[in-house]
A and B are shown apart, each in its own frame.
Chain A
Amino acid sequence: MVKIKKLTSLVLMASLVISLAACGSDSSNKDTSQSEDPNTTSEIADDNVDPAFGAYKDTVTIHTVTSESASASYPEGDNVTKNEWIRDYKEKFNINVVTDWVSDEYDTKLNLAISSNQLPDVFHVNAAQLQQLIDADMIYDLTDVFDQYASDRLKGYMQADEDSYKSGMRDGRLYGIPQMHWGLIDQPDYIWIRNDWKEELELSDPKTIDDVKNIALKFMEKHGGYGIAVDQSLEYLNLLAIAWNAHPGVWMKGSDGKIVYGSVQPEMKTALAAYADWYKQGIIDPDFAVKDFAKMNANVVAGKVGMQPFYQWWGYNPGVDTVTNQGKDAVFYPYLIPTADGTPATQSIFFANGSYTVVSKKSKNPEAVLKLLNYYAYIVDEGYGKESKEKLSALLDKDMAHVVGAFRVLNPNSDYEQFEHVTEALKSNDTSGLTTSGMWQKYNNSVDFMKNATPSSTGDYLQQGSPKPAYGLAKQVLDNNQYIKTALWGATPEALINYGSTLNDLLKEGFTKIIMGKESVDYFDKLVKAWQAAGGDEATQAVNEAYGG
């Protein structure tokens, strides 16, 4: 056993040095892990009355590691290792949480801890680290513990996003509890259009992608300059690609059932042809190829351009600065990106779960973390009304909700529910439905923007409180299933990690040439061949092996 462990850690170390990617699995370890589990679990079982929330008789100490949330502000004397949450863990569950280290370069530091075999009991990892740790047999199989100790609410979170839940499993066994996300509602993309310009010219909402083009042309006629602000990464321009049914960056099921890469599909060629045409007409910023994110936004903030393909958070950046500079009427409103024939485009949805909570194999109380996760979910979702205002404020406000590192699982429906409650309250002026501090913040800031035009409230207003809220459109997309999900729902295969950035640069360079007219649109076919030869085929095969069928 010792030998195997040493060997595994050696293998793991080597793989970390080379690529930080998953190493070859040592299947001989699997059996030992399974046989250890039942004993340990049953030992603890009779220690408690209520498995989900009951306290331990004897103090249980668990070690963890965390990163520091720079935005949280603690009361005097507290910090990320000593705060209201940590005290509650001790008081309510008799669990003593000790933080071994704190670092904002968390992944680097954790990789070092993994390779030097100095793992804490409970910690959070990314998808690649999860695979490594399972391969190296360093983390606990949490399947039984989860069934026994997770609260119904926590189990509900997992059901709400089964895809993420399954990404924490290997061969049907649960190793990493996904920490989840605010919800898919934050993923759809929009074309943002400056409202006072649009009203001044009495333009109607864009129904087809040609309307988008025509609005841009009208803006240019009236205000000069170019029509649409995008940057050199093509990230923002490519949000529009769904208008031609192209899904750049998405690994999607092709017609033959195999997974293919969206950026090299024929639909992308159509989109590029349209971009090239727009560029020729001066609609796309002629200098986009040398503009980064900040430079792209500069002309938006300065009031020189009135359209921008963007995510739902336009209102935070560049929205806040735009309103500061140009006034309240200069806000941009989001519109769903339409297709050529007037139907709403199919949106691209990416893998949303970033991290997993895992338990070291050496931990004596693998179930302790479940109690703390239950507690987090309870406070966030049910606390309002059941706990005192002071208690909740101490645990959640001023970003205290984000300081708990591995002991956090988000409700994957939280933004969706939040939006429903906020719009309801804004409509009816009845605030009784606002049950979380997040809801109150969105509500208050939306009201604040409408009343006082406070620039810093722009983000929350445009996301949730405006007459055309981004989340309103997103809700429509989700409710009508107008999206495809990436097939890459979990760790990225090693081949893709190795070739990924080279392949992306290749495409970005080629696409830019096509858009700027330096190459004809047919250059796309040549580019795809080059992409395949440069590792694209290999990456596609790896993705199919990992996620196909």
Chain B
Amino acid sequence: MVQDRSLSRRAFLVFNYIFLLLTSVLCILPFVNLLAVSFSGSAAVSAGEVAFWPVDFTTKAYEFALSGDRFITALWVSVERVILGTAVNLILLVLTAYPLSKTKSKVMGRNLYMAFFMITMLFNGGLIPTYLVVVKTGLINSIWALILPGALPVFSMIILMNFIRGLPEEIEESAVIDGAGPLQVLVRILLPLLKPALATVGLFSIVGHWNSWFDGIIYMNDMSKYPIQSYLQTLLLNFDEIMMKSGTDYTELLSKMNARTGRAAELFLGALPILAVYPFLQKYFTTGLVLGSVKG
């Protein structure tokens, strides 16, 4: 591309950068505020004095959130869930997306299968029937209750299917001519080519598994089996109420933190691991999303 050095072009670039900079600052500022609140004293936060730098610096809110071994336990459950869940997701995704990317003439009943999957994307059984299924299949109170009900994310499957269709058919043909069976084609030829798409849908799965909290709360009978988001959700649920209950002596803690600083600390702790993973997968994320969408 030839560099355009005209004045108007430069002016555009300057303003464009300023605009983009402001936009990104707008995205970051609430997070900075959250961080400042989480490290501030309770009184300063209540008086609305905290903007982007902590006032009366304290780590009490974090001490409260991290107190005991519950946080670590929950964190471990979440890590386990993300690894297992994403692995199961990816395996099923590849196994379904590949055959479904073929035409009706090559795979018998392809459209029927497709409709079968699509229905689950548009409708679901509702909370209680789903719960009953989980109970009757004996998954309740085990980590598989968090993984198996959503084992195949259909939306991700469609992205992956379209991505496979976008690959040149000749590659597969040449492998078949050389004597490769469908499984060999999938493992040897397709998988390496699918990397960017898998990173994309993998990231969807990771974020989805990390962020979901409701299933943990309804399927786990024991709070020590809660994943991190379920644990954080319940941590400060009744904080204000607890303070006022007769017979509660929370004076020491109260003078340093309140529900708002506590919640800010929670939010930050919950978002941190995902923030750490994002930069590494981001390059795949943008390319992968676009790649799948070109050919339908």
Contact = CB atoms under 8 A, between A and B. Distances in A.
Interface of A: 13, 16-17, 68-71, 100-105, 108-109, 112, 115-116, 118, 182, 294-295, 297-299, 301-302, 313, 316-318, 320-322, 324-325, 396-399, 401-402, 414-415, 418, 436-438, 441-442, 445, 454-457, 459
Contacts of A438: 246-247
Given A71-B242, A321-B46, A438-B247, A294 B260 contact: yes
B66 interface: no
A455 B255 contact: yes
Contact of A103 (B126, B217, B235, B247): B217
A100 B255 CA distance: 37
A456 B252 contact: yes
A317 B128 contact: no
B89 interface: no
Given A103-B223, A441-B247, A301 B128 contact: no
A454 B132 contact: no
Contacts of A441: 246-249
Contact of A17 (B128, B218, B220, B234): B128
A105 B222 contact: no
Contacts of B254: 316, 320, 456
Contact of A399 (B48, B233, B248, B255): B248
Given A17-B128, A100-B221, A321-B258, A105 B234 contact: yes
A414 B135 contact: no
A70 B238 contact: yes
A415 B244 CA distance: 12
Contact of A70 (B127, B218, B242, B246): B242
Contacts of B234: 68, 70, 103-105
A70 B234 CA distance: 8
A13 B218 CA distance: 16
Nearest to B252: A456
B235 A70 contact: yes
Query: Majority SS of interface residues in chain A?
Result: helix
Given A68-B234, A316-B243, A324-B42, A17 B126 contact: yes
A297 B46 contact: yes
B128 A105 contact: no
Contacts of B47: 298, 301-302, 321, 325
A459 B46 contact: no
A294 B242 contact: no
B240 interface: yes
B295 interface: no
13 contacts: A103-B234, A104-B217, A118-B135, A298-B47, A298-B48, A317-B244, A320-B255, A324-B41, A397-B249, A437-B247, A441-B247, A456-B255, A459-B244
Top 7 A-B pairs ranked by shortest CB distance?
A101-B221, A298-B48, A324-B43, A104-B234, A456-B251, A321-B46, A302-B47
Nearest to B249: A441
Contacts of A455: 43, 255
B42 A104 contact: no
Q: Which of B218, B235, B248 has the largest number of chain A CB atoms within 10 A? A: B248
A109 B217 contact: yes
Given A321-B42, A456-B254, A115 B128 contact: yes
A455 B221 CA distance: 39
A253 B242 CA distance: 34
A437 B242 CA distance: 16
A473 to B, nearest CB: 17
B237 to A, nearest CB: 6
Interface string B215-229: 001101111000000
A116 B217 contact: no
A105 to B, nearest CB: 4
Given A116-B128, A441-B249, A105 B218 contact: yes
B222 A101 contact: yes
Contact of B128 (A13, A401, A414): A13
Interface string B33-56: 000000001111011110000000
A490 to B, nearest CB: 22
Contacts of B244: 313, 316-317, 459
Contacts of A102: 221-223
Nearest to B213: A105
Interface string B119-146: 0000000111001100100000100000
A112 B128 contact: yes
A414 B246 contact: yes
Nearest to A455: B255
A112 B218 CA distance: 8
Contacts of B44: 325
Contacts of B240: 317
A349 to B, nearest CB: 18
B250 interface: yes
Contacts of A398: 249
Contacts of A13: 128
Contacts of A104: 217, 223, 234, 237-238
A318 B42 CA distance: 10
Contacts of B233: 105
Given A16-B128, A17-B128, A320 B48 contact: no
A414 B239 CA distance: 22
